[in-house]
Structure 1
C-alpha cells in the first residue's frame, strides 16, 4: 500500500486531537474489531492523504464530513478518485449522522460488507 512516512507524525497528531464525532464512531463501533470482527485504523496515511478510518481488508476508507467539507467538494472528489485508483472505496458520512443517527451510519457501513 502506498504510504507516505512523512505523514505519520501528522496522523498521530490527528489521532490525539480527534473530533467528538470521530471519537464516538471509533469507541462505539469500529474500535477493537467491534464491527464484524474487522480491524479498522484511524487517521491512517495512504499515499498523500490521511484517511479518517480505513479497513485494509475491505479496502474501505471512511471519511467523516462536517461543515468544513462544504467548500471542498472538488478536492474531496479528487481525493476519492485517487484512493479508488489505489483500490479503495470511500464512504463519506456526515458528522451530524454519527451524533444523531448512529444506527443509520452502522447500516451504511454494513452495506459495504462483502456478500458471502
Structure 2
C-alpha cells in the first residue's frame, strides 16, 4: 500500500466512474436490482452470500459505468448471469464491449446462462471455486 494513499477497508472500495455515477444513477439502479433479483440471481446469491465460498462477494456492484451481477473485488472476478435477451445480436454486441472494457480494467468475467444456474448450481459453484 502506498503510504500517501488513505486506507480504505475492502467493503468501502469505490469502483464506479465518478463522472458517470450520478448521471447514470448507478446507486439507485443497483439497489433496485438487488431488491428484485432474477430467480437465477437469487439462487446463486444463496450460495455466495456471507462468505460461503471463503470470500466476500458483492452483488449488483458498480464498476466504471456498469453494474456487475456479482463481484469479488480483491481478485477482480465478475460473475454475470445471462437471460435469453443476451443472445440477441444487439445485446451480445453490447456485452462484448462491456466485457472488453472490464477486461482492460483487469477484471476476469465468468458468464453463465440463467438456465444453467437454476439447473446445475453445483457445477457453477465448482467453476467459481476453481476461478478463485
TM-score above 0.5 = yes
Structure 2 gaps, min length 5: 1-13
Rg (Cα) greater in structure: 2
Aligned length: 111
Deviation at 1:66, TM superposition (A): 1.1
Q: Deviations over 1:95-114 (max 9, x none)?
A: 1111101111012112212x
CA distance in 1, matches of 2:76, 2:61: 13
Q: Deviations over 1:61-102 (max 9, x none)?
A: 100011010111111111111001111011001111111011
CA distance in 1, matches of 2:80, 2:56: 16
Q: What TM-score comes out, normalization by structure 1 length?
A: 0.91
Structure 1 gaps, min length 5: none
Equivalent residue number for residue 30 of structure 1: 48
Q: What TM-score comes out, normalization by structure 2 length?
A: 0.80
CA distance in 1, matches of 2:34, 2:129: 24
CA RMSD of aligned residues (A): 1.1
Aligned structure 1 segments of 4 or more residues deviating by more than 3 angstroms:
none
